[in-house]
């Protein structure tokens, strides 16, 4: 059986400067296999005509998108259809027109039929005679589309079936997912439709990123990308560089397994960069994607239900971040799934793995923190002849992992948090002294583990210590990794403390995740190297 053609990468051109020819050349040089001409935005009919008369390296999609569906055309239908006809006769290759426009009148359908194949809409439908010349002309392929910039409707299959019934050679539907739960519904519909009818089914915006990348796994006709960030024709488009570099577009096929990050938000994370690079290096046919899921247990549980009900999505492993680590633990327990002893102690799961149809959980933050502490305190207890004293600043998810790790090391623990009740709960769960937030600068310990979010980008100039004071400690372990060197770490280094930055925790927990999923260590130093490279392009 012949394989259907692989999903193409398409770039939309939405302006006329630099010249259309230059923009096409640049997009093609970067990997675009098809170019959409958004005539409604280019607003230069002569330039479009010149381009279509010129030499071709890739096919074009001719689109004059109506304002009603997010485009720039707010003129009347007759003028728009005349433009379609004028450019369509120059044979761009594909013509995209909205279902709503086609449904408006038989006359419109007849006109579109002159430039594109419309199997369900014979050109004689209106009773008008069709010239033998136009009847015999090789026509463009028709894409019938619909765009919803507000939501992803519940009845997705009904919407897609209407597009199929239009007789379009290719159907296109673009929705706005509220979060990754909608993105999974969109992917499920793409998987249903694509084997029978060439289809483009997209989730726009940040929550739809997975639909743009997994378009290739599920055999979409194309997926859109941009040449430069910020020059998108619809929200959420990635650059060609991201699609091919970070998300390894050309290595995705139908058997590619899926991993990803569940959190809210997820766009700041560097996990896709490091996991995808490591899987590529190890020759693992898998992809790692962001799955933003709104806060709340119900949202998380519903996302996991979507995952479980659609095994063809091949989602085999998930990183879990803020605000879902406790939700992941609770969900796993409700499913009767098991988790590691450390995750059990933290009552939080940051890694989920599916094998043999069942999910298990782990807490690789705690694994990583244990390794970091073991090296940070080596020698301290022997030299001092007493137990190591660890001060944990914060009482959130990471602080919980830090306290569990400190407990593993047999240290004396003190907890200090802005909200004292949370500190008391943590101390109650693990044991440990409490230090009042106002007295944090006067504390005495061997190691300070900074687990608050104070000092994280964009608040990089903030410090969790008042007036850059520092408790009496020998070593400061930071958990924030954006920026790499926080204000607290700068202050600690100036005072002669040993410092460990947040990248250490980030890399070590990701390495442990990788091993948990794939049964092998990632190449030594690779994740660190990729993180450092991506530091250069981060905000
Ligand atoms: P979390 O559960 O939301 O906890 C946030 C902590 O920060 C709480 O203790 C909170 O205190 C405290 N906090 C927030 N704003 C504060 C302020 N203005 N003043 C004082 N305290 C404040 O978050 P988390 O998951 O523990 O994450 C904490 C930090 O760790 C984040 O910055 C995150 O970037 C970092 N992190 C790093 C890694 C890594 O791999 N390196 C992994 C996960 C997280 P209250 O209880 O008073 O609200």
The pTM score is: 0.92
Indicate whether 156 pLDDT > 80: yes
Question: Residue 536 has what pLDDT?
Answer: 60
* 8-state DSSP, 134: H
Indicate whether 255 pLDDT > 80: yes
Pocket flag, ligand 1, residue 394 (CB < 6 Å): yes
Question: Residue 124 has what pLDDT?
Answer: 36
Ligand 1, atom 12, residue with closest C-alpha? 452
| 539 — pLDDT class (breaks 50, 70, 90) | very low
Q: What is the mean pLDDT of the chain?
A: 92
Question: Residue 4 has what pLDDT?
Answer: 63
Indicate whether 384 pLDDT > 70: no
Q: From the DSSP assignment, how many helices (H) and strands (E) are in the chain?
A: 22, 20
Ligand 1, atom 43, residue with closest C-alpha? 398
Residue among 224, 305, 320 at smallest CA distance from 269: 320
Indicate whether 310 pLDDT > 90: yes
Segment 308-324 mean pLDDT: 96
CA of 480 to the centre of ligand 1 (A): 8
Segment 377-383 mean pLDDT: 69
- 116-149 per-position pLDDT tens digit: 987 654 433 333 334 444 444 568 999 999 999 9
Pocket flag, ligand 1, residue 183 (CB < 6 Å): no
Residue 10: which residues within 8 A CB-CB, separation 6 or more? Answer: 32, 33, 34, 35, 36, 61, 222, 223, 224, 225
Residue positions annotated with a catalytic role: 325
Residue 392: which residues within 8 A CB-CB, separation 6 or more? Answer: 399, 402, 403, 406, 413, 414, 415, 416, 426, 432, 449, 451
Angle, CA of 332, 406 and 401, to the nearest 5°? 30
CA of 479 to the centre of ligand 1 (A): 9
CA of 11 to the centre of ligand 1 (A): 39
Task: Please give the number of the atom of ligand 1 that sits closest to the Cα of 398.
Answer: 26
Q: Which residue has the higher pLDDT, 393 or 536?
A: 393
Pocket flag, ligand 1, residue 506 (CB < 6 Å): yes
Pocket flag, ligand 1, residue 364 (CB < 6 Å): no
In the chain, how long is the greatest CA-to-CA distance? Answer: 100
Determine what percent of the chain is predicted with pLDDT higher than 70. 94
Indicate whether 345 pLDDT > 50: yes
Question: Residue 117 has what pLDDT?
Answer: 82
Q: Which residue has the higher pLDDT, 236 or 30?
A: 30
Side-chain half-sphere CA neighbours of 280 within 13 A? 19
Segment 453-477 mean pLDDT: 93
Pocket test of ligand 1: the residue of 394, 415, 507 to mutate, having most ligand atoms within 8 Å of its CB, is: 394
Pocket flag, ligand 1, residue 205 (CB < 6 Å): no
Residue 381: which residues within 8 A CB-CB, separation 6 or more? Answer: 387, 388
Question: Residue 385 has what pLDDT?
Answer: 74
Question: Residue 484 has what pLDDT?
Answer: 93
Question: Residue 131 has what pLDDT?
Answer: 45
Question: Residue 130 has what pLDDT?
Answer: 40
CA of 204 to the centre of ligand 1 (A): 30
């Amino acid at each position: 059986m012949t394989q259907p053609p692989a999903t193409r990468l398409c770039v939309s051109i939405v302006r006329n400067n630099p010249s259309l020819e230059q923009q096409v050349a640049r997009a093609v040089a970067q990997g675009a296999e098809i170019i959409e001409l958004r005539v409604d935005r280019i607003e230069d009919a002569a330039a479009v005509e010149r381009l279509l008369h010129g030499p071709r390296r890739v096919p074009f999609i001719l689109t004059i998108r109506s304002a009603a569906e997010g485009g720039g055309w707010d003129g009347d239908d007759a003028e728009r259809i005349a433009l379609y006809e004028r450019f369509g006769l120059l044979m761009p290759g594909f013509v995209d027109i909205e279902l709503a426009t086609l449904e408006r009148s038989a006359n419109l359908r007849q006109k579109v039929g002159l430039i594109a194949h419309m199997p369900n809409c014979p050109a004689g439908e209106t009773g008008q005679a069709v010239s033998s010349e136009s009847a015999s002309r090789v026509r463009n392929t028709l894409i019938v589309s619909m765009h919803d910039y507000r939501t992803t409707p519940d009845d997705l299959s009904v919407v897609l079936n209407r597009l199929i019934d239009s007789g379009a050679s290719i159907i296109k539907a673009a929705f706005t997912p509220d979060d990754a739960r909608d993105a999974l519904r969109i992917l499920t519909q793409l998987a249903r439709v694509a084997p029978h009818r060439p289809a483009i089914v997209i989730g726009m915006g940040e929550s739809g990123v997975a639909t743009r990348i997994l378009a290739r796994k599920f055999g979409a006709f194309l997926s859109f990308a941009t040449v430069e960030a910020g020059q998108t024709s619809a929200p959420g488009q990635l650059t060609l560089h991201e699609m091919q570099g970070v998300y390894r577009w050309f290595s995705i096929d139908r058997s590619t397994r899926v991993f990803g990050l569940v959190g809210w938000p997820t766009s700041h994370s560097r996990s896709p960069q490091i996991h995808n690079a490591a899987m590529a290096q190890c020759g693992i046919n898998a992809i790692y994607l962001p799955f933003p899921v709104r806060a709340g247990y119900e949202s998380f549980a519903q996302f996991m239900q979507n995952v479980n009900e659609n095994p063809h999505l091949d989602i085999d492993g998930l990183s879990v971040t803020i605000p879902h680590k406790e939700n992941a633990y609770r969900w796993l327990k409700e499913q009767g799934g098991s988790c590691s002893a450390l995750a059990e102690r933290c009552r939080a799961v940051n890694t989920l793995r599916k094998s043999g149809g069942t999910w298990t959980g782990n807490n690789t933050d705690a694994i990583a923190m244990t390794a970091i502490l073991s090296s940070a305190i080596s020698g301290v207890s022997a030299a001092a002849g007493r137990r190591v004293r660890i001060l944990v600043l914060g009482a959130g998810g990471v602080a919980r992992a830090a306290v569990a790790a400190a407990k593993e090391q047999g240290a004396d623990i003190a907890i200090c948090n802005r909200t004292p009740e949370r500190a008391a709960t943590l101390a109650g769960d693990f044991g440990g002294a409490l230090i009042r937030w106002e007295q944090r600068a006067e504390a005495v310990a061997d190691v300070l583990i900074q687990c608050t979010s104070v000092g994280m980008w964009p608040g990089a100039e903030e410090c969790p210590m008042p007036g850059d004071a520092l408790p009496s400690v020998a070593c400061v372990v930071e958990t924030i990794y954006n920026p790499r060197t926080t204000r607290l770490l700068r202050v600690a280094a100036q005072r002669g403390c040993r410092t460990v930055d947040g990248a250490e925790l980030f890399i070590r927990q990701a390495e442990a995740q990788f091993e948990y999923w794939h049964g092998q260590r990632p190449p030594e130093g690779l994740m660190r190297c990729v993180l450092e490279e991506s530091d250069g392009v981060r905000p």
